[in-house]
Structure 1
Amino acid sequence: MSRAYVVGNVTIRDAEKWAQYVAEVPATLTPWGGEILLRGRQAALLAGQAPHRNLVVLSFPDLDSINRWYASAAYQALIPLRDDAATVDLAAYEA
């Protein structure tokens, strides 16, 4: 069965606001079958360039679930907090 993923590359600017955002995101994932697979900080750069030092990987049942999660009122309400706290590049992938 295929899955879909959101990969976020992150540069945190305000640790307190980021912590608040991180605490509130999981509740927005549940209705869409989403889960956090990884939150991490870069340990070493092995090749290429990586302008962001932090990474998050979310897993969803399918691309439609990602789109519904991202467009949901619950997640949309968190975007201003996210954008105040960090620079975030998000991309969706199908596997």
Structure 2
Amino acid sequence: MPAYLIGHITVKDPVQWGVYVKGVRESLLPFNGRTLFRGKRASVLAGEHPYDLAVVIEFSDQESLQSWYDSEEYQKLIPIRDRAADVAIISYDA
């Protein structure tokens, strides 16, 4: 069953964010993760949502998603991510 990672993002340091995004792209390759969508919030139609950007990444299953997240390659990127942006990351099953 496909699994999806959805990230909600507000960038604080665009230069460091660029470093992080490049690293994520490279780290996804061994796990066959595929970025389906990356975009900027147009409007909040209901409720509250403080984040400006979103990304949706597809994995073949939840195990692959979790393996990527736990991988050494991605774990090395987390300090960069945390300096560069405020982020909420959620996984979903299809």
Query: What TM-score range do you get, normalising by the shorter chain?
Result: over 0.9
Deviations 1:45-81 (A, max 9, x none): 2221111111111100000001100010000010010
Structure 1 equivalent of residue 90 of structure 2: 91
Alignment of 1:1-95 (within 5 A): 2-95=1-94
What TM-score comes out, normalization by structure 2 length? 0.95
Deviation at 1:10, TM superposition (A): 0.6
Distance 1:27 1:19 in 2: 13
Amino acid of the residue matched to residue 20 of structure 2? Y
Of 21-30 and 54-63, the range deviating more from structure 2: 21-30
- For the residue of structure 2 that corresponds to 1:59, the secondary structure is strand
What TM-score comes out, normalization by structure 1 length? 0.94
Gaps of 5+ in 1: none
Q: How many residues align?
A: 94
Amino acid of the residue matched to residue 91 of structure 2? A
Amino acid of the residue matched to residue 88 of structure 2? D
Distance 1:5 1:73 in 2: 20
Alignment RMSD (CA, Å)? 0.8
Deviations 1:3-25 (A, max 9, x none): 10000111110011001111111
- For the residue of structure 1 that corresponds to 2:25, the secondary structure is helix
